[in-house]
């Protein structure tokens, strides 16, 4: 979630300080929903998918510095969606809890 909040500051607000970023967590019996919300420039549609996996994950030097956090977010969460709520941008992450005993 830190990665997404940092992306809001870095990209949506282009580093402008004092702009709002909020994180909403809802834990239910069956899932966790996290929403990162800002009022900046929305994520371009072409950048909303999962970043490609590193070509050689063993060679740390081959992994691009940017995009690592988004790659992990997409790998760890069940869904990542981009929505609008009025003038606010919402990145919503969902992770289902295992129900197996």
Tell me: pLDDT of 91 over 90. yes
pLDDT digits (tens, 9 = 90+) for 24-39: 999 999 999 999 999 9
- Whether the CB-CB separation of 32 and 98 falls below 8 Å is answered with no
Residue 101 in any domain: the answer is no
pLDDT of residue 53: 77
Residue 87 in any domain: the answer is yes
Compute the radius of gyration of the chain from its Cα atoms.
15
- The reported pTM is 0.82
Q: Domain containing 71: what range? A: 2-96
pLDDT digits (tens, 9 = 90+) for 47-90: 888 888 777 767 767 666 666 788 888 989 999 999 999 999 99
pLDDT of residue 63: 65
Beta carbons within 8 Å of 85's beta carbon, 6+ residues apart: 37
Q: What's the CATH code of the domain at 74? A: 3.30.565.10
């Amino acid at each position: 979630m830190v990665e997404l909040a940092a992306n809001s500051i870095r990209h949506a607000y282009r580093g402008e300080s004092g702009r709002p970023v909020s994180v909403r967590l809802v834990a239910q019996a069956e899932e966790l929903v996290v929403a990162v919300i800002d009022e900046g420039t929305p994520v371009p549609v072409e950048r909303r998918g999962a970043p490609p996996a590193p070509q050689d994950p063993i060679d740390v030097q081959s992994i691009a510095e940017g995009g690592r956090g988004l790659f992990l977010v997409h790998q760890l969460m069940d869904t990542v969606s981009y929505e609008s709520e009025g003038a606010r941008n919402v990145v919503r992450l969902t992770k289902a809890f295992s129900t197996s005993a």
